């Protein structure tokens, strides 16, 4: 595995971790689930989030669609940053994930 693929693999792990955490309502990932609920409540309005996480994670895994997956991650994390700024919440977790997604997208579209 080339070192330039590390951001993409980190993003894959975070995306599937998010799906597992939402599907299980934090049973196995309580700290990560608390972070997620701080971002978006776990109710009927967010019931599709884990399905989107699985879809994006799958796009990231496949060779021909990894650039689409990374672009979606950049967009979703960007929206998360804007949302946290508006709420006055912590921006750094979304910021870190945003930059990991940017690094992964650079690999996906051949920037490096």
Residue 38 CA to residue 36 CA, distance in Å, equals 5
Question: Which residue segment(s) compose the domain that 80 sits in?
Answer: 3-108
What is the mean pLDDT of the segment spanning 49-75?
94
Give the pLDDT confidence of 7-53 residue by residue, as tens digits: 999 999 999 999 999 999 999 999 999 999 988 899 999 999 999 99
Measure CA of the first residue to CA of the last residue in the chain; give whole Å. Answer: 15
At 110 the pLDDT is 53
Please say whether the dihedral angle defined by the alpha carbons of residues 94, 40, 11 and 104, taken in this order, is positive or negative. negative
**Would you state the structure tokens that stand for residue 58, as one six-digit string?**
């799958």
Listed residue (21, 30, 94) closest to 57, CA to CA: 21
**If you average pLDDT over every residue of the chain, what do you get?**
91
Report the number of distinct structural domains present in the chain: 1
Query: pTM, whole model, 2 decimals?
Result: 0.88
CB 28 within 8 A of CB 20: yes
- Is 55 a residue whose pLDDT tops 80? yes
């Amino acid at each position: 595995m080339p070192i330039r693929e590390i951001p993409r693999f980190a993003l894959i792990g975070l995306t599937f971790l998010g799906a597992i955490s939402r599907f299980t309502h934090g049973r196995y990932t309580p700290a990560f689930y608390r972070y997620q609920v701080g971002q978006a409540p776990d109710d009927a309005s967010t019931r599709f989030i884990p399905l989107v996480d699985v879809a994006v994670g799958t796009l990231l895994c496949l060779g021909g669609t990894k650039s689409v997956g990374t672009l979606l991650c950049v967009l979703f994390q960007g929206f998360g940053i804007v949302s946290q700024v508006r709420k006055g919440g912590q921006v750094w977790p979304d910021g870190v994930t945003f930059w990991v997604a940017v690094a992964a997208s650079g690999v996906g579209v051949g920037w490096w």
